[in-house]
Amino acid sequence: MPSTQIPIPFPIAESYTRDSFMPSPCNEDALAWIDRWPDWPSPALVIHGPKGCGKTHLLHIWKDIVGEQGIAIDNSADIFGNKDAEEGLFHAYNLAKENGTYLMISMEHSPAVQDIQLPDLASRLRASAQASVHEPDDIAIQSVMIKLMHDRQMKITPEVVNFILPRIERSYTAVRHLVEGLDIASLSEKRAITIPLVKTIIKEPELL
């Protein structure tokens, strides 16, 4: 049996630059709104989509463009239900409107279905420009997988990528779990990322 060792968990230096973002049909709407700035019909843009779909990356891209002219708020659904936090976001929205600045806000689901306690905040967010990031297609699955591997300095061949694509669940969470599993297995077993290694990871249901 091959020797194994427990890999030391080093921090992952994720890249959030425009060059490292992988455009695809499922995120083109959100990216188009970023490129359209500041020609927005409202002070805020709300982007929503499933966990791990690249919303944080999109916020970083926009913030690099706008600098001090904008405030990026990630995972804003954590605010909803907290009266003080909702009032803070409402105040930030009004300030942006008064000062000619902008907000870009991310959440998993549309404001229309969020349980927002403050009526004025709910109405403003629901009236704001919105962009959806959809469940990934094959292009997005491949792009996200390669980016995550690049962030971890993992090497993978096109042959292995082509093997993975038809076998992985179509979700960003599944891609992230697969990459994490491959990284741990590759380091602990001192193995290259090959099709046999991929097979062992995909068989583990908790990774998908």
169 in Cβ contact with 208 (< 8 Å): yes
Higher pLDDT, 206 or 89: 89
Instruction: Determine the pLDDT at residue 204.
Output: 55
- Which neighbouring-strand residues pair with 72? 104
How many domains does one find in the chain?
Answer: 2
Same domain, 90 and 175: no
Higher pLDDT, 11 or 115: 115
**pLDDT exceeding 70 applies to what percent of the chain?**
91
Same domain, 54 and 115: yes
State pLDDT tens for residues 70-92.
Answer: 999 998 888 999 999 999 999 99
What is the value of pTM for the model shown? 0.71
Q: Which residue, of 114, 132, 150, is where some domain finishes?
A: 132
Question: Can you give the residue range of the structural domain that contains 93?
Answer: 28-132
CATH number of the domain residue 80 falls in: 3.40.50.300
Q: How far apart are CA 58 and CA 106, in angstroms?
A: 9
Query: Tell me, what DSSP letter sits at residue 69?
Result: G
